[in-house]
Structure 1
Amino acid sequence: MSAPVFLPLLDPTAAALIPALSLLGPLLIPATLLRAVLPSLPPSARYYVQAEQSTEDLISYLDNGAEKIVISQSQLGQLAGQVAKERLILKVDEAELASVQQLTQQATGVYIVSSTAHTAKSLGLSGVDVFLQLPSPKTTELVDLIRSSRPSSYVLPTEILAASSTTSSTHLSIAEAYLAPVISDRPDGLFPTIVSSSNHSGKPLGLVYSSRESVTEAIVSQTGVYQSRKHGLWRKGETSGAVQELVSIKLDCDSDALVFEVVQHGSGFCHLPQSTCFGRWSGLAKLEDTLQSRLQDAPEGSYTKRLFTDEKLLRSKIMEEAEELCDANTKEEVAFEAADLVYFALTRCISKGVSLKDVERALDKKALKVTRRKGDAKPKWEEKVNGAAVKPESKPTEPVPQSFPEVEDGRIQMRSVTLSRLNKDEQKKILLRPVLNSLAMIDKVKPIVDRVRKEGDAGLRAMTKQFDKADLPSNVLLPPFAVPSEDELPRDVREAIDVAYANVKTFHVAQSEKEALVVETMPGVTCSRFVRPISRVGVYVPGGTAILPSTAIMLGVPAQVAGCKTIVLATPPRPDGSISPEVLYVARLTGVTCILKAGGAQAVGAMAYGTDEVPKVDKIFGPGNQWVTAAKMLVQNDTDALVAIDMPAGPSEVLVIADNTSNPKFVASDLLSQAEHGTDSQVVLVAISLTADHLAAIEEEIDIQAKALPRVKIAREAIKKSLIVLVDSVDEAIKFSNEYAPEHLILQMANAPDVVADIDNAGSVFVGAFSPESCGDYASGTNHTLPTNGFARQFSGVNTLSFQKHITSQFVTGDGLRVLGPSVVRLAEREGLEAHANAVRVRLAELNQQQ
């Protein structure tokens, strides 16, 4: 070790200090505390074990993750030839130094508990690292002691350390202890600091400068804090929100430069729209980011989506590419096949929530192992390569798996619970939806939205080319819109759209308020409320590989009926720059004033802030993937945007209540109509006293109908996570449904219309055996943009009033003010708002003069 290393020795009271200490290098953990401390260590933490008095298997410490162990002379003899010297530190007394010089050839360093300050040279040691446990004089003297002794590593007990920015008479600041040997060769005393990405294998993000003050605050806050040469302390992300989570701080070999390893959140480190100050990511870092993005946003039916949802396909591709790599011979062939294998292997990792950093940690942990397996191939692979007979093994080399990948033709089946047998906590658990990491998604969409905001139409066109693969001269299409030809839009499809449009419009026209509400609250005081349209609205219609004219109808019709003056319809373009003729036809019907050919977060940003070509809107409506949802949440909380959104969004949901009168085919079809939306769709059947045969018939129909669907793989995954809740009565079923608050509630039960009166929480209710949810999705007249994730407790589905706002007014006559005014004055005085009171007093005085 060229640079002195701060090595904190943990004691039983050090738990609160571990997060800060773990940033600065290895921890020294006594063997007696190891089991208690390990569960609390951060994933990136490194540690040594003080094991000189331990009677346990010393090699097990190294196998389980310790980088080095501190041992006695007798233990050194036991480990000779078994463990590399780089893993061993020999602990000796100062009096023993002369006699142990020859032993240092068997260990990487010598650990000494010193009564006075020493240097390695003064101790008579050379070619070996010195781990010096310093004496504990006054804490204010320790910093000078470290600088003067400059051991390879200096050990300080945590009992004298504190996670504070300053040193007291009893405790030494962790930051001051770490910075004691750090020097600067600059006139301003600053330290050059490389900021690297923990997310991307330590690749550099940029070069900044640090001061003792900034490093101290960074350690205490565990965030990225630096020293601007012009503006003082720079707390990264304080204004932009692009904060950095600090993972580690390292010194260079000369103790005059630092490396900050961070997890970067938000829009990124560089002020330019690129990954780092040195350009964009490349290689594995770029691939990892791309796959993370595809996991969230890959279009249904795309190859990457198939890889994420079809484990059998991905498994086959990994084995195929591994074999092709083994068969490759030339340098070019090996590189090409290795790249393919890395792609599919990393896809597997990302699908299971494993990052390249996790893989690197696993590699580092494996490298620490002393005990190794023989490493022979498993028999089935030896047989495949050599054609040899398979010999039975006396003991498997790895645990035998308890479950195996589901085969393609496996039964598609829901799981069942009996509600009355669950305790309160278990009942609450089955009401929960998947956890949506909104903050993480907002971090990802913020750079996209910010780019549209800053670069306007140019940034929008660039991202449309990047994400939608469409190179457009303009993202805006204005009316009059072309009428799709018969070839583009067959007559029967057009007629179906006309029926849906007419029904939806009829129902939404009926919701309109025809007259103002006028109430005389007391003689001479008239209050009124009247409705006005939201002037400018944006409606988002998902597109790409999907065609969703139904969503265009459900959003365009109420906007038209409400009287909105500007209706911006955003939908992703196809690669040739066109949009689907179905959506174009609906845009004509509903009076859309601008079509925005863009999708994702960039479309939301364009509507929220406006560009030279795209009108700014006041409220944004419509479903979308996680990127769209996160962008909507982001802009609604930005006061500069001044834009509202319709409602929070989540995966599609259906809850079916079925009794013994229900038709198993109908029930199964309703459950599957939501299951095919996506693998995260929420599907629940509440079964009221169904016989075993009736329930079995429903499950049989689910399996049969699902396997006949083009989207069977998606339905299979959704059904796996879905639930049958067995209840004993109608009241129990209704109570559960109201607690769950489903997006779609289907009543397949006797006297279904009578049950509607008891429904308190649902997005939309489908009453009776012949009211499938599909009718509401397309053409019955109700709106299909509904609250999910339990928000039906607080939100309504989209309706005409969603596109309008209410304004109140009041008209007070002189006689009315004579009666009302004294009460207003008294209340204003009570609140201490004299100007309010005076506004009434001067009018009352004027009225009195007129009498």
Structure 2
Amino acid sequence: MILPAVSLADVVRDVELLRTLGLANDVLLDSVEGANLSEVLSVTSCWVRLPAGTLTETAVDCLNAGASKLVVPYTDAESLRQVVPTNRLVLSVPVDDAAAEELPAVTLQAAGYLFSLPSVDTNNIPRLAKILRAAAPKASRIYVEISTGAPTLESTTAWNAHDIDLVVPARELSAAGGKLDLGDVIAGGLTSDRADGLFSTIVVDEQRVALGLCYSSAKSISEALRTGTGVYQSRKRGLWYKGESSGATQRLIKVAYDCDKDALQFTVRQSDPGFCHLETRTCFGADSGITGLEALLRSRKAEAPEGSYTRRLFEDPVLLHSKIMEEADELVEATSPADIAWETADLIYFALTKCVANGVSITDIEKQLDRRSKAVTRRAGNAKSKWDLSSKKAANGQQAVESTPATPVNKAEVATKKEIKMKSYNYAETTAQQRQALLLRPIIKTDEILARVKPIVEDVRKRGDEALLDLTARFDKVQLKSSVMKAPFPADAMQLSENVRAAIDQAYDNIYKFHEAQLDRTELRVETMPGVVCSRFFRAIEKVGLYVPGGTAVLPSSTLMLGVPALVAGCSEIVIATPPRKDGTVAPEVVYVANKVGATTILVAGGAQAVAAMAYGTATVPKVDKICGPGNQYVTAAKMVAQSDSSAMVAIDMPAGPSELLVIADPTCNPAYVASDLLSQAEHGEDSQVVLLAAGLSDSAVAAIEQEVRTQGEALPRADIVRESISKSYILRVDSVAEALKFSNQYAPEHLILHLDDAEQHVAAVQNAGSVFVGPWSPESCGDYASGTNHTLPTYGYARMYSGVNTLTFVKHITSQTLTKEGLDRLGDTVTTLAEVEGLEAHRNAVAIRLKDIRRNRP
């Protein structure tokens, strides 16, 4: 493209100019006198031009300060090449006669050649490019600077066509008040293979992780460089200023192009919640690796609960520093590749925790690494005296060096903290008291939660919409003008990719089919005796509120599981409540499903405040008759509070606790499948619990499952959550499948998976469970999303007396009776007798007065 050139004096006066120029390429500094070069070079990647006769010490100082390359006269190259790597040298060669048919060959190895030419006619560029190529056949890159005349878009494009970069003084560029637009220059050097002339643009973060794919035009490139932000060319809406409406803005770091010059790469610093409209950092799924760890630690710093281990790490420097030193020592002692990888990961975790605690990012670390890689001289690198084992070895001998650390580490304790490992018990060896304890779930501090929830519910009951908006701002950090969306919902609020739309549609069809079959629309009529007919018929609950958890997650599945049976039942008003995303919008997947199931209102709120708004109603939120749906402990508590308040007049689907799963496995099971099922629920939350009943499994089979749990668990993005929930989970070894089923019925799990030989035959023995998954090819995940059964299920042992959400959850049954004159005559004496026994005279009289008329004229 071009190589912008600027004097150090201009940079000192305007650092932003250097930063802007550096967005598109390295920048050539024409002089380095009289300024802090290291400080200037920290702004962006720069080359430094050195005058003839420069001492090697000066050249080395420039590289150590962070110069990317040195531009030096060809005549000085030989002496500098003795101390400066050739890939850091660009050799300048003056050309006095631009009309010459050939130039003397230049053969010294270097990163490139910079030819200085007098005034050049644009039409003459093809000929000159050929001559320069011939003069420097071994050059990896060729650069040209013109001594007279202003560069034009035509001249930069012409040189670029021959893969030669033109040096352009900064004063000629629009960023410094000149006429040449940097965006036009970049676009002029690119070739588009698209009919619309746009350039495919890969957007990456500072660690070169791909965030997504966009498109650029000359205009959008210019605007991106002018504003220093992510600006792209939308194929439908024109210029797209990323994050302008969502708040997920981008700071532009660098614009580069690929080897074929038909695609761009924008390096950006992406703000939360991320690049994707699904509120993930990338359009390619959840972040992982070290960047994922950094994001997790940032969120933990902001949200870790008081008293948690993570909170202690951030607030107790002594604890954190101790852990860093402990893990460094563990790494030193590790010998096997697996242990070295493990201990390195631990050390990185705690080191990065210190960085996040002090506002240091991975990008800051990488800048230091890049800077050091540019240095050509380094200190000896010996360890400081207290860590210098080599000197201790010389003084004390090998044995002293390999002695035990001064502060010994309890290896077993460290391993227990680090491992993803379930507790293990043998049923035959447990006492009755221990067996009873195994049926318990992780403790929920009900009183503490209710104490927090009741004021929230009361506030919404009294202040309505005003309280709802205030609480949303407080808990979700989102300022909303309105908390409701009314149907019909705007099309732009439910834009989805075709594959996501197709997946939702298929799940909808399966769920609808299964829930439609549950509803018997026939009226039940029974003649209990001649002349007395009793009947029962259903009616839909008119107004229902469906709570869909969200915020950081996207849960169209929960919307389907609640909305479809409400639609099938015929509810006349469906209100869906879900927390807002950070930009105040609702996930388009949830809006799409809400539209599909005929929802009338979307309440953009979460937590106890959303439950209260639906229970009591506000000026904008319709009051509902029943509230259904899963949620955290605060949502569940709010549902219980509302149900117990007679002034709310609202029902709920069921009490609920943390997610749970029980697997019964016999020797025919696949250990990898069993582990994957256990982890599928363990990742829900730190208070989740999973249980494995190992029916007749050998020691090696149990060990294989434990190893799979560790291996698969460590690879999960939510490994830290799994680490906590698994510690509350256990393996219980039993002698037989019958014994396992007996324990399972006492436990009454939310999800029960049968990894058994001929699993179907054992279903008849299941008495208590929310939903059963039969056989190795029936993972719980299918029930969560698309097989057709409902995933809103009773937890915490409530499967003993509650069903999961189904079509009947949204209906009520009304009975009626029709008596003929003869029928009342036959039944009346029975009724009056029983009424007299109970002393209810009005009841007796209501029948007796009729019987008197019926029997008055009887012979």
TM-score, scaled relative to structure 1? 0.55
Contact 1:318 1:344 in 2 (8 A): no
Q: 1:311: Cα distance to partner?
A: 3.5
Contact 2:314 2:357 in 1 (8 A): no
Aligned-partner residue type, residue 447 of structure 2: L
Q: Does 1:530 align with 2:528?
A: no
Counterpart Cα distance in 2 of 1:322 and 1:698: 33
Q: Does 1:464 align with 2:472?
A: yes
Give matches, 1:184-583, under 5 Å.
Answer: 302-305=300-303, 311=309, 314-315=312-313, 318-319=316-317, 406=414, 410-484=418-492, 488-583=495-590
Q: 1:472: Cα distance to partner?
A: 1.8
**Corresponding position of 1:849:** 856
Aligned-partner residue type, residue 465 of structure 2: D
Counterpart Cα distance in 2 of 1:299 and 1:410: 17
Give matches, 1:584-623, under 5 Å.
Answer: 584-623=591-630
**Corresponding position of 1:805:** 812
Counterpart Cα distance in 2 of 1:493 and 1:583: 12
Q: 1:750: Cα distance to partner?
A: 0.6
Q: Once the two structures are superposed, what CA deviation does each residue of 1:475-513 show, in whole Å capped at 9, x if it has no partner?
A: 110011123579x52111111111111100100000011
**Corresponding position of 1:770:** 777
Contact 2:442 2:728 in 1 (8 A): no
Q: 1:406: Cα distance to partner?
A: 3.8
Counterpart Cα distance in 2 of 1:458 and 1:799: 34
Counterpart Cα distance in 2 of 1:450 and 1:410: 43
Q: SS of the residue aligned with 1:687?
A: strand
Contact 1:653 1:743 in 2 (8 A): yes
Q: Once the two structures are superposed, what CA deviation does each residue of 1:144-185 show, in whole Å capped at 9, x if it has no partner?
A: xxxxxxxxxxxxxxxxxxxxxxxxxxxxxxxxxxxxxxxxxx
Q: 1:469: Cα distance to partner?
A: 2.0
Counterpart Cα distance in 2 of 1:710 and 1:309: 24
- After superposition, the Cα gap between the structure-2 partners of 1:671 and 1:300, relative to the gap in structure 1 and judged at 3 Å, is farther
**Corresponding position of 1:667:** 674
Counterpart Cα distance in 1 of 2:819 and 2:539: 23
Counterpart Cα distance in 2 of 1:322 and 1:509: 56
**Corresponding position of 2:638:** 631
In terms of Rg, which structure is larger? 2
Counterpart Cα distance in 1 of 2:456 and 2:653: 21
- After superposition, the Cα gap between the structure-2 partners of 1:312 and 1:469, relative to the gap in structure 1 and judged at 3 Å, is closer
- After superposition, the Cα gap between the structure-2 partners of 1:664 and 1:844, relative to the gap in structure 1 and judged at 3 Å, is same
**Corresponding position of 1:270:** none
Tell me the percent identity. 55
Contact 1:312 1:405 in 2 (8 A): no
Counterpart Cα distance in 2 of 1:790 and 1:684: 13
Q: Once the two structures are superposed, what CA deviation does each residue of 1:179-222 show, in whole Å capped at 9, x if it has no partner?
A: xxxxxxxxxxxxxxxxxxxxxxxxxxxxxxxxxxxxxxxxxxxx
Q: SS of the residue aligned with 1:498?
A: helix
Contact 2:664 2:695 in 1 (8 A): yes
Counterpart Cα distance in 1 of 2:498 and 2:491: 12
Q: 1:315: Cα distance to partner?
A: 2.6
Counterpart Cα distance in 1 of 2:297 and 2:795: 21
Counterpart Cα distance in 1 of 2:409 and 2:830: 78
Contact 1:604 1:628 in 2 (8 A): yes
Contact 1:299 1:545 in 2 (8 A): no
Contact 1:310 1:713 in 2 (8 A): no
Contact 1:689 1:729 in 2 (8 A): yes
Aligned-partner residue type, residue 439 of structure 1: D
TM-score, scaled relative to structure 2? 0.54
- After superposition, the Cα gap between the structure-2 partners of 1:602 and 1:485, relative to the gap in structure 1 and judged at 3 Å, is closer
Q: SS of the residue aligned with 1:497?
A: helix
Aligned-partner residue type, residue 429 of structure 1: A
Q: State how many pairs are aligned.
A: 491
Q: SS of the residue aligned with 1:612?
A: coil
Q: Once the two structures are superposed, what CA deviation does each residue of 1:354-392 show, in whole Å capped at 9, x if it has no partner?
A: xxxxxxxxxxxxxxxxxxxxxxxxxxxxx99xxxx9xxx
**Corresponding position of 2:126:** none
**Corresponding position of 1:214:** none
Q: Once the two structures are superposed, what CA deviation does each residue of 1:811-845 show, in whole Å capped at 9, x if it has no partner?
A: 11110111100000000001111111111100000
Q: Once the two structures are superposed, what CA deviation does each residue of 1:650-679 show, in whole Å capped at 9, x if it has no partner?
A: 111000000011000100000000111111
Counterpart Cα distance in 1 of 2:728 and 2:319: 31
Q: Once the two structures are superposed, what CA deviation does each residue of 1:742-794 show, in whole Å capped at 9, x if it has no partner?
A: 00000000110010001000000000000000000000000000000011000
Contact 2:793 2:805 in 1 (8 A): yes
Contact 1:567 1:594 in 2 (8 A): yes
Contact 1:307 1:314 in 2 (8 A): no
**Corresponding position of 1:747:** 754
Q: 1:426: Cα distance to partner?
A: 1.2
Contact 1:679 1:718 in 2 (8 A): yes
Aligned-partner residue type, residue 424 of structure 1: A
Counterpart Cα distance in 2 of 1:299 and 1:462: 28
Give matches, 1:815-826, under 5 Å.
Answer: 815-826=822-833
Counterpart Cα distance in 2 of 1:849 and 1:766: 66
Counterpart Cα distance in 1 of 2:724 and 2:668: 29
Q: SS of the residue aligned with 1:445?
A: helix
- After superposition, the Cα gap between the structure-2 partners of 1:404 and 1:757, relative to the gap in structure 1 and judged at 3 Å, is closer
- After superposition, the Cα gap between the structure-2 partners of 1:307 and 1:518, relative to the gap in structure 1 and judged at 3 Å, is closer
- After superposition, the Cα gap between the structure-2 partners of 1:427 and 1:449, relative to the gap in structure 1 and judged at 3 Å, is same
- After superposition, the Cα gap between the structure-2 partners of 1:309 and 1:318, relative to the gap in structure 1 and judged at 3 Å, is closer
Counterpart Cα distance in 2 of 1:644 and 1:514: 23
**Corresponding position of 2:835:** 828
Cα RMSD of the aligned pairs, angstroms, is 3.1
Q: Once the two structures are superposed, what CA deviation does each residue of 1:301-358 show, in whole Å capped at 9, x if it has no partner?
A: 55344577983684365217999xxxxxxxxxxxxxxxx99x999xxxxxxxxxxxxx
Counterpart Cα distance in 2 of 1:414 and 1:826: 64
Q: SS of the residue aligned with 2:595?
A: helix
Counterpart Cα distance in 2 of 1:657 and 1:837: 58
Q: SS of the residue aligned with 2:732?
A: strand
